[in-house]
Amino acid sequence: MQFGMAEKTEKAGKSASDKLLDDVFHVFENYLRMCKMRRTPERYAVIRAIHCTQGIFTIDQIYNRLIGEMNFHISLATIYNTLELLEKSHLVLRHQANWKGDPRLVHYEKCFSQDIRHNFVCKECGNTFRFTDKSLMGAINRIKRSGFRPESYTLFVYGTCSRCHNRQVKAEKQQVKTTRKKQ
């Protein structure tokens, strides 16, 4: 598949989205069969919740969607276990930034389709800003390595969003003021 093809399919509407979900179920089913694990309704509900999510998400976001919008009762532990399985079956990507050691702060992203993903990710709040850059795509497509056939890629550039940056600057100024008062 050429990079960028999935993007066009996604724009085709609901049927493309349903087809994508079917494909994801198929991949996951194969993985579960291989590991001799059960196909439970909870695991499929987690996939459905992730499917409706755009960009990066946390366990809490999936939990709230399932409990609230989808009215599906499930424990955080089950969601966590399912995410681990989805990660192992390469359907979900776990971000490797420093999320302060709290599993509830870990950020995930679905890899259901092979669409182009260029992302700026804020390390503080997890907000993601997506963009497409043709020159980056071209540069990556031009990289050749013998013994490796590239299929898709995702690029994450970690940093701080303007909102978090402003908050940090404010906090620093406040800190300086307090220190001066004390002196």
Q: Which residues bind Zn ion (CB under 5 A)?
A: 122, 124-125, 127, 161, 164
Which pairing describes strands 108-110 and 56-57: parallel, antiparallel, or unpaired? Answer: antiparallel
Q: Which of 147, 149, 120 is nearest to 133 (CA)?
A: 120
Is residue 11 exposed (0-12), middle (13-18) or buried (19+ Cβ within 10 Å)? exposed
Give the nearer residue to Zn ion in terms of CB position, either 40 or 158.
158
**Residue that has been written with the tokens 């980056």 in this structure:** 136
Give the nearer residue to Zn ion in terms of CB position, either 12 or 125.
125
Give the nearer residue to Zn ion in terms of CB position, either 67 or 125.
125
Q: How far is the CB of 56 from Zn ion (least distance, A)?
A: 12
**Phi, psi for residue 125 in degrees, rounded to 5:** -110, -10
Q: How far is the CB of 114 from Zn ion (least distance, A)?
A: 28
**Phi, psi for residue 112 in degrees, rounded to 5:** -70, -40
Q: How far is the CB of 116 from Zn ion (least distance, A)?
A: 23
Give the nearer residue to Zn ion in terms of CB position, either 119 or 127.
127
Q: How far is the CB of 163 from Zn ion (least distance, A)?
A: 5
Q: How far is the CB of 104 from Zn ion (least distance, A)?
A: 17
Q: What angle do CA 56, 57, 62 make, to 5 degrees?
A: 150
Give the nearer residue to Zn ion in terms of CB position, either 32 or 164.
164
Q: Which of 50, 52, 26 is nearest to 39 (CA)?
A: 26
